[in-house]
Chains A and B, each alone.
Chain A
Amino acid sequence: SQTIHQWPATLVQPVGSPLSLECTVEGTSNPNLYWYRQAAGRGLQLLFYSVGIGQISSEVPQNLSASRPQDRQFILSSKKLLLSDSGFYLCALSTGSVPYEQYFGPGTRLTVT
């Protein structure tokens, strides 16, 4: 079965510092990969999705970027964090058989101070 790893689990960063969150998956090949953010008291907002290596689509304009250097690796980055970047970041995957059923990783809690 497929497994999603995210690290770090928790991160506290000052405003203006860079960010790199990593997501890796096991147990499947060529998955669709997604980055979501859940801000405090709000729903899940899709940030980026990727259908293959080097292919990234952005859903909302923001201070963040994403990359997919390998089939099972998805990275979320920022050059300079803002206070509004605080939230719970979730990586998810879907497979070709049922692309709209997504499975989520454990998440990273980011606090920007």
Chain B
Amino acid sequence: DQQVKQNSPSLSVQEGRISILNCDYTNSMFDYFLWYKKYPAEGPTFLISISSIKDKNEDGRFTVFLNKSAKHLSLHIVPSQPGDSAVYFCAASAGLNAGGTSYGKLTFGQGTILTVHP
């Protein structure tokens, strides 16, 4: 049962344009969401997160939007740069709703390969 899904395996955009990466989840207990970026043969690096009490969080070129009713989140990168080319994973945790006993367990999506062309 895939509780976190990234239905687009790949995305290709032009440098300077907006990249929109999407993620859907099914578990209503998830209350904290994160995006990670991963280069080949390296560990993922944390990008940005959002709590379920918010619907938007912005950090520089990166903005994450959360639509709880649709169980959907998205990552916007504006403007996109060639260095953004990587695999992007969304992840979810039921940490808060679990009363802090989930120990920060994350459920990851399958990832989306973003390619930004110069």
- Residues on A lying within 8 angstroms of B by beta carbon are 4, 32, 34, 36, 42-46, 49, 51, 57, 59, 88, 90, 92, 94, 99-107, 109
**Do residues B106 and A103 form an inter-chain contact, with CB atoms below 8 A?**
no
Q: How far is A51 from B100 in the complex, measured between Cα atoms in Å? A: 12
Among B42, B103, B111, max chain A CB count under 10 A is at: B103
- Residues on B lying within 8 angstroms of A by beta carbon are 6, 32, 34, 36, 41-46, 49, 89, 91, 93, 95, 100, 102-111
**Do residues A101 and B42 form an inter-chain contact, with CB atoms below 8 A?**
no
Task: Give the chain A neighbours of B110 by CB distance below 8 A.
Answer: 42-43
**Do residues A103 and B108 form an inter-chain contact, with CB atoms below 8 A?**
no
Q: How far is A42 from B38 in the complex, measured between Cα atoms in Å? A: 13
**Do residues A99 and B34 form an inter-chain contact, with CB atoms below 8 A?**
no
**Do residues A102 and B104 form an inter-chain contact, with CB atoms below 8 A?**
yes
**Do residues B89 and A44 form an inter-chain contact, with CB atoms below 8 A?**
yes
